[in-house]
A and B are shown apart, each in its own frame.
Chain A
Amino acid sequence: MKPAVSLQKVVKDYPLGKVTVRALHGVSLDIQPGEFTAIAGPSGSGKTTILNMIGCMDVPSSGSVALDGTETSQLSDAQLTRLRLDRIGFIFQSFNLINVLDVRQNVEFPLLLQGKHSARERAERVSRMVERVGLAKHAKQRPNELSGGQRQRVAIARALVTNPAIVLADEPTANLDSHTGHEIIELMREMNEKDHTTFIFSTHDPRVMECAHRVVKVADGVLA
């Protein structure tokens, strides 16, 4: 079976003024489909950069990144965008919902971008997802009318509504209290177990790491 994600000797350099900062020093990592993986490490360790590489939001300076065997480092911006839309779901630390859309509309957003589903199919999928994250009662509310935990649930629903192969979550509990954070991780676990969707999330919270199948530790741009 092909790994869901495969990083081979990934090096990432960022220009910082006149000097170049190396964020990743040749990281190699395979993640199997259905894994619930935590990438852990202190701030600036390079875990966000790894997520960027996996999430097709950035390309490596050298080395290769493959999703389901598809090499991404040579793809155009438009191709990467399409790959993100169809194969990857995103959950952000700051939830990053679209404030002018209500819960249902936020969840529907990637489906509309895909433009391949009928209105009816979209409605069914959105309803199912909103129900699964427990927000059926709040479906017509705007993000700013919801609590942090509820917002992250909307984000989870939005990430999963397209049936992506991989869900990336960047410190999904960082802006939540520990109880709510735990609920969110539990919800992600539930989704992972039911749908066998690959989850990769970054965190530096040891209690969150405990929930992971696998914890990949990063320090100073290399895997520990």
Chain B
Amino acid sequence: MSLALALRLALGNVRAYAVKNLIVGSILAFGTLFVVTGAALLNSLDRAMQASVTNAITGELQVYAKDARDPLSVMGDMGMTVADIGEIEDLAELRDVAASVAEVAEVIPMGIGQSTVFGGNDIDIVLGELRGAVNAGDTAKAAALLDRARRIASDLAPEMDNIEELTSDTAKLADDRATLARVTSDTFSGEFAASPIPTIDWMDSHLAPLATDGKMIYLRLVGADLDAFTRSFTKFELVEGAIPMRGERGLLIPESYYQLWMKNTVARELDQIRDEVRLDGETIGITGVLFDRVQRNSRQYRRILYQLDPAVADALEPKIRAQLGGIEGDMATLLKAFLAVTDENLESRYAFFYKEIAPNIRLYDIKVGDMLPLRAFTKSGYLKSLNVRFAGIYRTKGYAGREMMTDANTLIDLVSFRDLYGKMTDSQRAELADIKASVGGRDVGAENVEDALFGGGSGIESTVTSGDGFAAIDALSFGAIDARVSDTYPPEQLDSGLALNVAIRLRDPSRVPEGQAALQAAIDKAGLPLQVVEWRTAAGMIGQLVSVVQVVMAIAVGVMFLVSMVIINNALVMATMERTAEIGTMRAVGARKSFVVALLVLETLLVAIAAALVGSAGAAALVGWLGGVGIPAGIDMFSILFGGPFLYPSIGFAEVGLGVGLVCAVSVLATLYPAILAAGVPPVVALQSKE
């Protein structure tokens, strides 16, 4: 009964003190708007991210070693180093445990590592410095740099053998070998000293393109049961080639990475310049960053010229000349001029480039179907090589992918991953015995085992010598080894043996914590030294983003509500002071202290609820609008978080409930002190009041 009375009074008072309540209400409405919108955006982001990340690579859960030195970071972080995440000794045990957990739908064994493809050094930098040193007259520095260039050349020499595997252009190969022979010959230093600048020019045009061919491309390897991986992760999309079957070795390179790092640099630069103009609205103009990039690219014309067959070049020359409006000059001049694109001719030249020139050059360093010589440092620190077929190009749906960050994981079959990782299985040991038998049964010794299996001869491995037996093994490494470390492996190797981490798909993706707890419990019960982490943690830096934003927002909300509380508290204390007569009268007539407290709390609560509804309605409108137009990802990293170029946020009862609840709680807290103050108003003030 007195609650109904208090409510009636409160309603009346809310109206009676309209100005005060409007101020308090506005603050609270804004607070609600902020909280509800923020929560809706965060939850939408989290949902989008879960859909994006778990369906791309992490799964809902990841399992890895409990004693891992570094935290698991499946999506990678900024650094180029590979985290030490320990090992899962035997997949079979984990599979058994996971099979007993009802929540688990699928187990996808993985490993994370890195390798390079095409070893080599960036000779451009060395030649640039060399030119600078010669111009500055620093002969000592020039000598040292020349020495470096020659060493690079001698490092490149063995690569020619590798390239022989991949190329059919034997004339070019012979030229390249001659170039390397000249640079590495004993008389070259003398030639250089006699005419340094022309020699550098010659190296720029002859040696540098070789280094580009032999450039070191860094690959972030994610080993996996590729069959399970591509089936489970719905964001996976094959662009070219084929997914290696169970039992087949193979590499799947992400499209954006392939475009960025394996495309002819001139073509790629042309692509990027066009993207900047077309997608980002930049202009080339006659000065500025993009203009400089165009000029630099134009100077790289040899990257094209060198790849053109003389006959093709002859056929191409009149076409380019026509395109350029009939200017004079040889092919080099023409190409240079052609590549110096402007805002006006960018589109036509781009189209011409891909129609006439691109088909005649090797547009990509590697092609699907090529055998790639991967190199990686094993766990024990040895450099190891392994030829793996480039099986296909894939993309992750929804990842925009103009930048390297988005999609940098090269997928490799788990067995090849293990080989590069450097742990041998029993069957590999048996295979090794076979190899030893076939090369004459000589004992290779423990430290040479890896070379024997996966190829040495890198020049870094000091134990590889030119002894008879070893020479045979070296030959195997680059050539005949393909027959030995075959393109296939027994598929059951995927079910047991080593993995570094394991992705778990759950039957119900909305019940991640439950699945995590159940699997961890089962693992602990089985005594496996493994930990289960949810996708946010497992994804690495990117996964932490939502948590970071959450913390930042929580702090912002906290500060905002603290300020609101102080303002509300002050307003109410002042209002209470003005209302002592009214309160005293109620107390005199017979209202209990609790009635006074209830009345004041109720008054604020009414304002709070009204404000919360207004704020929530505002938030719903705002989020609804954003959900319609979408929030653009802007940079590529956000497209991973958003699971596409736009985030379409939505709002639900949970967010509104949170906002309304929080605002009501804050209001009640802010009212407690003034309410207690009011309850302390003695009834006698009713008699003292004068109207």
B515 within 8 A of A: no
- Residue B12 contacts which of A48, A52, A101 (CB distance < 8 angstroms)? A101
> How close is A160's CB to chain B, nearest CB, in angstroms?
12
Question: A175 at the A/B interface (Cβ < 8 Å)?
Answer: yes
B691 touches A57 (CB 8 A): no
Cα distance A99–B586 when bound, in Å? 12
A101-B9, A101-B12, A113-B2 in contact; A158/B691 too (CB < 8 A)? Answer: no
Chain B positions 571 through 604: 1 when the CB is less than 8 Å from some CB of chain A, otherwise 0: 0000000000110111111111101000000000
Question: In the complex, which residues of chain B have a beta carbon less than 8 angstroms from the beta carbon of A97?
Answer: 585
Q: Does A199 contact B (CB under 8 A)?
A: no
> Main secondary structure on chain B at its contact with chain A?
helix
Q: Report whether A112 and B686 are in contact in the complex, using a CB–CB cutoff of 8 Å.
A: no
Question: For A96, what are the chain B residues with a Cβ–Cβ distance below 8 Å?
Answer: 581-582, 584-585, 588, 686, 689
Determine whether A128 belongs to the interface, using a CB cutoff of 8 Å to chain B. no
Q: How far is the CB of A49 from chain B (nearest CB, A)?
A: 9
State in angstroms the CA–CA spacing of A158 and B588 once bound together. Answer: 12
Evaluate contact between A115 and B2: CB separation under 8 angstroms: yes
Measured CA separation A49–B587 after assembly (Å): 17
If A90-B589, A100-B12, A100-B15 touch, whether A112 touches B4 (CB-CB below 8 Å) is yes
Distance (Å) between the CB of A166 and the closest chain B CB? 13
**B78 interfacial by beta-carbon distance below 8 Å:** no
Contact present for A158 and B9 (CB under 8 Å): no
Contacts of A84 in B (CB 8 A): 588-590, 683
List residues of chain B with CB within 8 A of the CB of A55. 588, 683
Chain B: minimal CB distance from A94 (Å)? 4
CB distance from B15 to the nearest CB of A (A): 7
Residues of A within 8 A of B581 (CB): 94, 96
Task: Compute the total of residue contacts between A and B using a CB distance below 8 Å.
Answer: 93
A92 touches B687 (CB 8 A): yes
User: Are A51 and B593 also in contact (CB < 8 A) when A96-B585, A100-B12, A100-B16 are?
Assistant: no
Contact B589 A170 (CB under 8 A): no
A114 at the interface (CB under 8 A from B): yes
Q: Is the CB of A109 within 8 A of B587?
A: no
Across the interface, do A100 and B588 meet the contact criterion of CB distance under 8 Å? no
- Does B9 contact A58, Cβ atoms closer than 8 Å? no
A55 to B593, CA, bound (A): 17
Q: How far is A97 from B686 in the complex, measured between Cα atoms in Å?
A: 10
Could you say which residues of chain A place their CB within 8 Å of the CB of B592? 78, 81
CA distance A95 to B585 in the complex (A): 10
Residues of A within 8 A of B595 (CB): 113
Give, as a whole number of angstroms, the nearest-CB distance from B462 to chain A.
94
The answer to whether the Cβ of A205 comes within 8 Å of any Cβ in the partner chain is no
Closest A-chain residue to B11, C-beta based?
A100
Selected from A77, A92, A99, A105, the residue in CB contact (under 8 A) with B686 is A92
Q: Which residue of B lies closest to A151 (CB)?
A: B691
User: Which residues of A lie under 8 Å from residue B311 when comparing CB positions?
Assistant: none
> With A and B bound together, what is the CA distance between A51 and B582 in angstroms?
19
| Inter-chain contact A81/B587, CB cutoff 8 Å | yes
Q: Does A68 contact B (CB under 8 A)?
A: no
Q: Is B525 an interface residue (CB 8 A)?
A: no
B585 contact from A81, A82, A98, A175, Cβ within 8 A: A98
Interface residues of B in 1-30 (CB under 8 A from A): 1-2, 4-5, 8-9, 11-13, 15-16
B682 at the interface (CB under 8 A from A): yes
Assuming the A-B contacts A84-B589, A96-B581, are A90 and B686 also in contact, with contact meaning beta carbons closer than 8 angstroms in the complex? yes
27 contacts between A and B (CB under 8 A): A52-B684, A55-B588, A57-B686, A81-B587, A81-B591, A81-B592, A82-B590, A84-B588, A85-B589, A86-B590, A90-B686, A92-B585, A92-B588, A92-B687, A92-B689, A93-B690, A94-B691, A95-B691, A96-B585, A97-B585, A98-B582, A98-B586, A99-B16, A105-B8, A109-B586, A114-B590, A115-B1
Interface positions of B (Cβ within 8 A of A) = 1-2, 4-5, 8-9, 11-13, 15-16, 581-582, 584-593, 595, 682-684, 686-687, 689-691
